[in-house]
């Protein structure tokens, strides 16, 4: 049957997370200090995948380097598919086909989503169905208006986004998680032209009438990190224990950290001055420095090598690796990344105060 290969789609522009994604590609933004791509690759590794492909377009060298470092740390073989012109999800699969050759099945993830899906169960359902493609589906998130994937009583996908596919009566709407399970023969269904092809809009509809696209309903934590608010929510959820670390072995940001106070964990190399005030939940990573009189937490993640100055306050916030928070500065309900301060709902404030 061949092995199971993975592909993580990492070519997108991440426009809704700007200006953060002007610094790093969205699949490389840190969640709990761990690049999102490492979370995705750890999920694949936990499902038995031993080789994977990432496609890159926006900040391609940074994305490739982040993916290669993550794969090396997980013991995964990784190939990079470069897209000087963005190819879309279908085009990405077509362009990566030589790198995926020989696989018996493909697990394809959107690299900008954090999801704790049981990939093994999705793979088993796909193989049992004999379909070319299986879309992993979730109940529609409360209060959201994502385009629905509509499925008939037998589990066949019949319509996507209200417009693509043959449709029918009595269909049930679901939310698409961004995870596909594919038979290798699906790659031959992606046309060579035009270059940019979306698999959901341009490839699947022609296959739906024959029942070759199926839906598999799953459950689990899901966050597309699509806005600064959702990014901060992912951090809060991680600190609250809503992400099962067992699903992401090799990507757990709390591994090796010591509990200094209730709910406050810090890496052994973090330096916390006497007189600093810590409130859980909070995570302080390797080499971070917290000065006397600084306040960290609740709901704070301090990245590796970050420096929190005397009298500063970091609450309900994320401080990226290497960032300096100036003495007396307040970072609340915000992401601090270098000189940037980006707040929920995503409006950047003035640059951080000059470093002292």
Between 142 and 46, the higher pLDDT residue = 46
Closest CA to 118 of 47, 214, 36, 213: 47
Q: Same domain, yes or no, for 169 and 26?
A: yes
If you average pLDDT over every residue of the chain, what do you get?
90
Q: Same domain, yes or no, for 71 and 150?
A: yes
Q: Same domain, yes or no, for 286 and 204?
A: no
111 contacts 39 by C-beta, under 8 angstroms: no
197-219 pLDDT, tens digit each: 899 999 999 999 899 999 999 98
Question: Is position 212 within any domain?
Answer: yes
Which pLDDT value is given to residue 345?
60
Q: Same domain, yes or no, for 208 and 314?
A: no
| Pairing, β 277-278 against β 295-296 | parallel
Question: Is position 238 within any domain?
Answer: no
Question: Is position 200 within any domain?
Answer: yes
Domain count, the chain: 2
Question: Is position 207 within any domain?
Answer: yes
Q: Same domain, yes or no, for 63 and 212?
A: yes
Whole-number Å distance between alpha carbons of 333 and 216: 36
Closest CA to 222 of 112, 318, 346: 112
Mean pLDDT for 15-23 is 89
Whole-number Å distance between alpha carbons of 145 and 72: 38
**Residue 254 confidence class, pLDDT cut points 50, 70, 90:** confident
Question: Is position 234 within any domain?
Answer: no
Q: Same domain, yes or no, for 180 and 294?
A: no
Question: Is position 252 within any domain?
Answer: no
- Tell me how long the chain is: 356
Question: Is position 253 within any domain?
Answer: no
101-160 pLDDT, tens digit each: 999 999 999 999 999 999 999 999 999 999 999 999 999 887 777 889 999 999 999 999
Q: Same domain, yes or no, for 220 and 110?
A: yes
Mean pLDDT for 28-44 is 94
Please report the sign of the dihedral spanned by the C-alpha atoms of residue 230, residue 231, residue 236, residue 242.
Answer: positive
pLDDT at 165 over 70: yes
Q: Same domain, yes or no, for 121 and 25?
A: yes
337 contacts 302 by C-beta, under 8 angstroms: no
Closest CA to 207 of 131, 154, 125: 131
Q: Same domain, yes or no, for 147 and 46?
A: yes
CATH number at residue 274: 2.160.10.10
> Among residues 226, 247, 282, which one ends one of the domains?
226
CATH number at residue 46: 3.90.550.10
Residue 74 has φ and ψ, to the nearest 5°, of: -105, -5
Question: Is position 355 within any domain?
Answer: no
Find where tokens 């794969």 sit: 71
Q: Same domain, yes or no, for 59 and 198?
A: yes
pLDDT at 353 over 60: no
CA end-to-end span of the chain: 61
Q: Same domain, yes or no, for 222 and 302?
A: no
Q: Same domain, yes or no, for 25 and 163?
A: yes
Domain that holds residue 324: 259-343
């Amino acid at each position: 049957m061949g092995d199971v290969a993975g592909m993580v789609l990492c070519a997108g522009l991440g426009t809704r997370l700007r200006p953060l994604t002007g610094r790093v590609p969205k699949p490389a933004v840190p969640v709990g200090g761990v690049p999102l791509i490492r979370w995705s690759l750890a999920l694949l590794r936990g499902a038995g995948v031993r080789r994977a492909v990432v496609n890159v377009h926006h900040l391609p060298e940074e994305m490739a380097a982040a993916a290669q470092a993550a794969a090396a740390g997980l013991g995964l073989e990784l190939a990079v598919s470069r897209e000087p012109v963005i190819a879309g999800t279908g085009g990405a699969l077509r362009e990566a086909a030589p790198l995926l050759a020989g696989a018996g099945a493909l697990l394809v993830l959107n690299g900008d989503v954090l999801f704790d899906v049981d990939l093994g169960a999705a793979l088993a359902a796909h193989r049992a169905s004999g379909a070319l493609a299986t879309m992993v589906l979730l109940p529609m998130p409360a209060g959201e208006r994502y385009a629905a994937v509509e499925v008939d009583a037998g589990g066949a996908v019949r319509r996507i986004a209200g417009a693509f596919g043959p449709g029918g009566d009595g269909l049930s709407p679901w939310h698409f998680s961004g995870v596909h399970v594919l038979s290798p023969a699906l790659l031959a269904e992606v046309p060579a032209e035009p270059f940019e092809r979306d698999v959901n809009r341009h490839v699947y509809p022609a296959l739906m009438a024959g029942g070759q696209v199926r839906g598999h309903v799953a459950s689990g934590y899901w966050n597309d990190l699509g806005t600064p608010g959702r990014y901060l929510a992912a951090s809060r959820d991680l600190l609250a224990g809503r992400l099962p670390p067992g699903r992401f072995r090799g990507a757990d940001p709390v591994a090796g950290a010591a509990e200094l106070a209730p709910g406050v964990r810090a890496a052994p190399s973090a330096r916390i001055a006497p007189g600093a005030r810590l409130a859980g939940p909070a995570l302080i990573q390797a080499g971070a420095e917290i000065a006397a009189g600084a306040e960290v937490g609740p709901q704070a993640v301090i990245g590796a090598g970050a420096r929190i100055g005397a009298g500063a306050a970091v609450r309900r916030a994320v401080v990226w690796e290497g960032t300096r928070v100036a003495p007396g500065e307040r970072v609340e309900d915000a992401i601090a990344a270098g000189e940037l301060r980006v707040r929920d709902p995503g409006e950047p404030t003035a640059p951080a105060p000059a470093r002292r």
